[in-house]
Amino acid sequence: MTYAKRFDGRKFDEIRPMEAKVGIIKRATGSAMFKMGNTIAIAAVYGPRDVFPSFLQNPSRGLLRCHYDMMSFSVTERKRPGPTRRSNEISRVTESALFPVVDLSKFGNTGFDIYVNILQADAGTRTAGINAAALALADAGAPMKDLVCSVAVGKVGDKICVDLTKEEEDYKDGATDLPIAVLPRSGKITLLQMDGNMTQKEIKEALEMGKKAVQSIKKLQVKALKDKYKGAGK
């Protein structure tokens, strides 16, 4: 069966409408909201600060820890509050997606804690979370070599697509979800997961499509960071 036209009318290589805002949580060192279609992620960064438990302290480099969670009402059927196996895994891969860009060498014995929470979910929550977390880290003033841009690519029916919705993930003839994070400058991939069924050739094609698509995420992230300081110093 061919998936001729996307449910929401987007082009196959087009990301959903996005919004981003930096500095949304006053108490946090850095914070951001990132919206992709109907998925809304919020991220806060606290740090550099002392690391507890103290045996985790590393005198030669700072620690980067991520805690991903979803609000109970962010999904159609209420999610029981608190961490799950799924959320723990996402925390772990989010950490790995962000780690390569943060220079932690000057932050011995301390650490940055990143909290990601999903307010509204329509697939791609980890990718929206990573986009928000990268912004929050930048907002916190963490020294970064690059931003991190994340989007899901994959296959719906017979078509390679970017940024799948929940409806597409549940496509009756099968769908493959392949969330990635890309460092926009170097093009390096720092998150890679997949569920579904694709050939090696299709995966290569999807990754190339994703790498192109994230440039629009980067653009929005840069704009959101600049917007926070609009009018400052005047």
Partner 1 sequence: MSKSYVETLADKDARTDGRKFDELRKPIKIELGVSNKAEGSAKVTWGETEVFVGVKMAIGEPYPDSPEDGVLITGAELSPMADPEFLSGPPGPEAIELARVVDRGIRESKMLDTKKLCVRKGELVWIVFVDIYPLNNDGNLIDAASLAATAALKSAVFPKLNGDKIVYGDFTKTKIPLNLMPVTCTVVNIGGKSMVDPILEEEKNFDARISVSVSEKGDIHAMQKGGNVGLEIDQVDEMIGLAVKKSAEIRKVLK
Residues of this chain that interact with partner 1 (CB under 8 A) are 24-28, 38, 40, 42, 44, 46, 49, 67, 69, 71-78, 81-82, 113, 115, 117, 119-122
Q: Which is nearer to partner 1, 2 or 76 (CB)?
A: 76
Q: Which is nearer to partner 1, 140 or 182 (CB)?
A: 140
For residues 120 and 35, give the distance between their C-alpha atoms in angstroms, rounded to a whole number. Answer: 9
Cβ atoms 135, 116 nearer than 8 A: no
Instruction: Record the tokens describing residue 155, joined without a space.
Output: 């296959």
Q: Which of 116, 120, 121 is nearest to 166 (CA)?
A: 121
Name the amino acid, one letter, at 195. Answer: D
> What's the min distance (Å) between Cβ of 43 and partner 1?
8
> What's the min distance (Å) between Cβ of 206 and partner 1?
27
Q: Which is nearer to partner 1, 24 or 189 (CB)?
A: 24
Q: Which is nearer to partner 1, 115 or 150 (CB)?
A: 115
Q: Which is nearer to partner 1, 26 or 172 (CB)?
A: 26
Cβ atoms 137, 45 nearer than 8 A: yes
Helix, strand or coil for residue 166?
Answer: helix
For residues 15 and 38, give the distance between their C-alpha atoms in angstroms, rounded to a whole number. Answer: 12
> What's the min distance (Å) between Cβ of 46 and partner 1?
5
Name the amino acid, one letter, at 144. Answer: M
Name the amino acid, one letter, at 15. Answer: I
Q: Which is nearer to partner 1, 72 or 186 (CB)?
A: 72
Label residue 222 exposed, middle or buried (CB < 10 Å: 0-12, 13-18, 19+).
Answer: middle
For residues 207 and 36, give the distance between their C-alpha atoms in angstroms, rounded to a whole number. Answer: 19
Q: Which is nearer to partner 1, 124 or 210 (CB)?
A: 124
> What's the min distance (Å) between Cβ of 136 and partner 1?
10
For residues 34 and 28, give the distance between their C-alpha atoms in angstroms, rounded to a whole number. Answer: 16
> What's the min distance (Å) between Cβ of 119 and partner 1?
5
> What's the min distance (Å) between Cβ of 29 and partner 1?
9
Cβ atoms 68, 91 nearer than 8 A: yes
> What's the min distance (Å) between Cβ of 121 and partner 1?
7
